[in-house]
């Protein structure tokens, strides 16, 4: 059953503005975007001030990906606003901003009672759930897919309302008016938005909204992009001059500062600490004891941190996480565990018998490496809790804090703050719970900041994996059958249980024991025309809570597939590019990416000692989605692996903002470089073996390779590139290393030695 996205009026907003929601049954919300002095609020998305400034509400967290600019640009283009007069502000938590695209994608995680009515963004049940649960989570590159249409509809409605006022004054048909650069125009007549807003706000918008015929597309000249872009980032000036505020920059009257110590992974219990050791510190305000953590509150953060050092908290841990045990568990699982089929094409692996080739790949736990550690500010006053926090899941964080204090969520106000890099780390909200409890016990506004060690200790890494990839070849060396057997926990399902069902780490792991998790193997189904494919998940219980990380499953599944294809091509004495091209008859867009990257990167065929490696990947539905082909050039010297150059050809469909797309692709390539060569940790007695950024072998500016990108123009559906560009980096580097050294590395992060 599908209900179309027809815009329905849902009630009147404060000051006469109309709040537009999209729902089968009209819903009533408080005006989520209240008008300030000399402002007129038209709907949930935008307001216009007396000076002509158009303010756009942004329901997604800004964490460096440029979403504040992207959504504002869509509104500005549809409205006809002057970009120089466009501002943004974070949208409050409201059912008016449901992320329907992500809700549909994550339906297996929130487990609707009727899955068939909640697996598409247009489904009525899904819409009702997303609105009721104020689901505006930022993740998986879904912002554009979820919010382009609502932004356009809201802007088109306001444009029509302004045009009607102007048309009445000029005695013309409003349909003959247009909006350009902040003016309503008709022939040589023109009126500023600011002159029309007060009267327009009382007009009933047309239904449906009169959308412009052309979809938003970046008008910037690619040849002049380094000099100018039509829509420069709105957050850039304040980030350059340091005035851009993060949660750690919040300052309130009587504010105190908290530091914290967490126990080892995972069921550690605080057993003892020496309170007297810090009792004589004049700057200490208080000590707050949780079941699994200890916090000190002081007049400054450093004093709180030193007080914790003095108190020396100790924890008991019944079953500490250990890397050796994890590796043995995964090894046994991939060899002997019970597998569950998650994908099959053709005859699957039926009749494979003894495979022609079989390779084993391993992936270590990968950590996020966020620039900003967890930070939150809380004030509990007169039965109301205020939270200033960076979170990708704002309503979940708000509800978690409310549960911790036994309050109604309606009594918790959350102010969304940007994140200094998240990479999906802020999908978890432990710090929201902790700061709420500390504020209650302290009786004063408090700011909690985790140290880098605490960030590393408390995070849920990207899951470790063991995979066995097997193929059956024809006499000519073509792949007739492919079988993937992958051992890992039901990592995405565990995350869903924590987020949607408020389960603890260990409860989620227990709940998902033995459960197959197709989302944990996303990207493993090859884009290649291989007739028979079988992919199996071997659920493994490893005792380590795992979570989401930029690129997610694609970050390791692309490594398995593209390393395998390269190995098969090499052993079949086939040129790697031509070998791939022969199998891409069903995906001409990916084939074009390969052809174009070969020209861009001066592909030499991957001959011995060339140091060139090739990989490609497709993310999303076959009919749409994004494609990327990548050539990495490496050298190996006395200082280890040096990646000298990336050449990428990328097809993300219609390009809405070319500058931001290039930033995202470049950032994803560099992030993927970090994952390929580092960003991992082991565990001993429940503690991470790598506790500082310096331990993670992250790329530095001096070691960042030259990056060349061919961003392909396409009329396909727009696709977010931020996750896509992470995927092919590890296999491209691994394939380049084989070319340079003759060694096949089948372990992430990559290291010298046989895989």
Q: Is omega for the bond preceding 749 within 30 degrees of 0, making it cis? A: yes
Q: Is the CB of residue 246 less than 8 Å from the CB of residue 420? A: yes
In this predicted model, what pLDDT tens digit does every residue of 666-684 receive, in sequence order?
Answer: 999 999 999 999 999 999 9
Tokens describing residue 343: 């994908």
- The pLDDT tens digits for 147-197 are 999 999 999 999 999 999 999 999 999 999 999 999 999 999 999 999 999
What's the confidence (pLDDT) of residue 29? Answer: 61
Distance CA 629, CA 138 (A): 26
3-class DSSP assignment, residue 334:
helix
3-state secondary structure of 403: helix
Q: Are 714 and 653 in contact (CB under 8 A)?
A: yes
pLDDT tens column, 52-77: 999 999 999 999 999 999 999 999 99
CA–CA distances in Å: residue 98 to residues 23, 119, 150, 484, 626? 10, 15, 10, 36, 24
Residue 251 CB contacts under 8 Å (≥ 6 apart), including other chains: none
Q: Residue 37: exposed, middle, or buried by beta-carbon count in 10 A (0-12, 13-18, 19+)?
A: exposed
Domains of the chain from N-terminus onward: 8-224 (3.30.365.10), 248-317+374-449 (3.30.365.10), 337-366+462-748 (3.30.365.10)
- Which residues, in sequence order, are CB contacts of 319 under 8 Å at separation 6+? 267, 543
Q: Is the pLDDT of residue 18 over 50?
A: no
Compute φ and ψ for 13, nearest 5 degrees: -95, 170
Q: Give the Cα separation of 193 and 188 in Å (integer).
A: 16
Sorting pLDDT into bands at 50, 70 and 90, what band is 30?
Answer: low
Phi, psi of 406, deg, nearest 5: 55, 45
Residues in Cβ contact with 722 at an 8 Å cutoff, skipping those fewer than 6 apart: 65, 141, 550, 664, 667, 668
DSSP letter assigned to residue 639 = T
Tokens of 60: 């997604």
Residue 17 CB coordination number (10 Å): 25
Alpha-helical (H) ranges within 133-210 are 143-170, 193-200
* Distance in Å from the first CA to the final CA of the chain: 49
pLDDT one-digit tens code per residue, 377-429 = 999 999 999 999 999 999 999 999 999 999 999 999 999 999 999 999 999 99
Element (H, E) at 457: helix 452-458
Taking the C-alpha atoms of residue 326 and residue 329, their distance in angstroms, rounded to an integer, is 5
As a whole number, the mean pLDDT across the chain is 93
State what percent of residues in the chain have pLDDT above 70.
Answer: 95
Cα–Cα nearest to 422, from 459, 457, 465, 464? 459
Query: What does the pLDDT average to over 348-374?
Result: 96
Beta bridge partners, 186, equal: 189
Q: Is the pLDDT of residue 755 over 50?
A: no
Confidence grade of residue 606 (pLDDT, cut at 50, 70, 90): confident
């Amino acid at each position: 059953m599908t209900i179309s996205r027809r815009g329905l009026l849902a009630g009147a907003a404060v000051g006469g503005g109309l709040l537009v929601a999209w729902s089968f049954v009209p819903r009533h919300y408080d005006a989520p975007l209240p008008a300030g002095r000399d402002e007129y609020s038209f709907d949930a998305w935008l307001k216009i001030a007396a000076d002509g400034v158009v303010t756009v509400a942004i329901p997604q967290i800004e964490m460096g990906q440029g979403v504040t600019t992207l959504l504002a640009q869509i509104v500005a283009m549809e409205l006809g606003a002057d970009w120089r007069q466009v501002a943004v502000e974070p949208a409050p938590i409201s059912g008016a901003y449901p992320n329907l695209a992500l809700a549909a994608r994550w339906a297996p995680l929130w487990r609707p009672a009727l899955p068939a009515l909640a697996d598409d963004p247009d489904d009525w049940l899904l819409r009702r759930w997303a609105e009721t649960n104020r689901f505006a989570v930022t993740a998986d590159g879904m912002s554009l897919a979820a919010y382009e249409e609502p932004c356009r509809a809201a802007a088109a409605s306001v444009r029509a309302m302004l045009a009607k006022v102007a048309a009445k004054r000029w005695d013309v048909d409003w349909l003959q008016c247009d909006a350009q650069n902040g003016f309503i125009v008709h022939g040589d007549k023109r009126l500023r938005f600011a002159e029309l807003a007060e009267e327009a706000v009382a007009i009933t918008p047309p239904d449906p909204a009169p959308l412009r015929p052309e979809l938003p597309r970046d008008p910037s000249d690619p040849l002049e992009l380094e000099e100018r872009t039509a829509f420069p980032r709105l957050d850039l000036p304040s980030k350059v001059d340091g005035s851009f505020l993060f949660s750690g920059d919040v300052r309130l009257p009587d504010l105190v500062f908290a530091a914290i110590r967490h126990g080892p992974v995972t069921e550690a219990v605080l057993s003892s600490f020496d309170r007297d050791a810090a009792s004589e510190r004049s700057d200490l305000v208080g000590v707050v004891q949780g079941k699994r953590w200890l916090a000190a509150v002081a007049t400054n953060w450093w004093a709180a941190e030193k007080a914790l050092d003095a108190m020396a908290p100790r924890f008991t841990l019944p079953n500490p996480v250990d890397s050796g045990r994890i590796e043995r568990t995964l090894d046994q699982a991939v060899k002997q565990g019970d597998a569950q089929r998650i994908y099959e094409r053709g005859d699957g692996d039926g009749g494979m018998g003894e495979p022609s080739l079989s390779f084993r790949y391993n992936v270590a736990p990968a950590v996020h490496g966020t620039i900003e550690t967890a930070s939150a500010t809380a004030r509990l006053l007169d039965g109301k809790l205020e939270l200033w926090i960076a979170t990708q899941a704002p309503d979940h964080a708000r509800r978690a804090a409310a549960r911790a204090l036994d309050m109604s969520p309606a009594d918790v106000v959350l102010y969304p703050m940007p994140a200094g890099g998240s990479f999906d780390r802020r999908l978890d909200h432990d710090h929201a719970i902790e700061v709420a409890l500390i504020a209650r016990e302290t009786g004063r506004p408090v700011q909690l900041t985790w140290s880098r060690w605490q960030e590393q200790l408390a995070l849920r890494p990207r899951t470790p994996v063991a995979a066995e990839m097997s193929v059956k070849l024809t006499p000519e060396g073509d792949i007739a059958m492919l079988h993937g057997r992958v051992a890992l926990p039901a990592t995405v399902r565990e995350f869903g249980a924590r987020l949607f069902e408020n389960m603890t780490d260990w409860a989620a792991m227990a709940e998902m024991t033995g459960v197959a998790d197709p989302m944990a193997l996303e990207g493993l189904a090859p884009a290649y025309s291989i007739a028979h494919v079988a992919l199996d998940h071997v659920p493994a219980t490893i005792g380590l809570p795992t979570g989401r990380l930029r690129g997610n499953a694609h970050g390791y599944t692309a490594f398995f597939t593209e390393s395998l294809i390269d190995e098969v091509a090499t052993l079949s004495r086939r040129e790697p590019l031509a070998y791939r091209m022969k199998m891409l008859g069903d995906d001409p867009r990916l084939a074009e990416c390969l052809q174009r990257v070969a020209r861009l990167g001066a592909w030499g065929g991957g001959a011995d000692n060339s140091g060139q490696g090739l990989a490609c990947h497709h993310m999303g539905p076959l009919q749409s989605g994004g494609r990327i082909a990548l050539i990495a050039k490496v050298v190996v010297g006395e200082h280890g692996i040096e990646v000298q150059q990336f050449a990428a050809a990328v097809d993300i469909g219609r390009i809405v903002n070319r500058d931001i797309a290039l930033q995202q692709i470049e950032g994803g390539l560099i992030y993927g470089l970090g994952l390929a060569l580092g960003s991992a940790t082991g565990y001993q007695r429940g503690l991470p073996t790598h506790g500082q950024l310096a331990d993670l072998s992250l790329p530095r500016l001096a070691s960042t390779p030259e990056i060349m990108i061919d961003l392909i123009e396409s009329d396909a559906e727009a696709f977010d590139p931020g996750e896509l560009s992470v995927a092919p980096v590890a296999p491209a580097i691994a394939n380049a290393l084989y070319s340079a050294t003759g060694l096949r590395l089948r372990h992430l992060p990559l290291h010298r030695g046989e895989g």
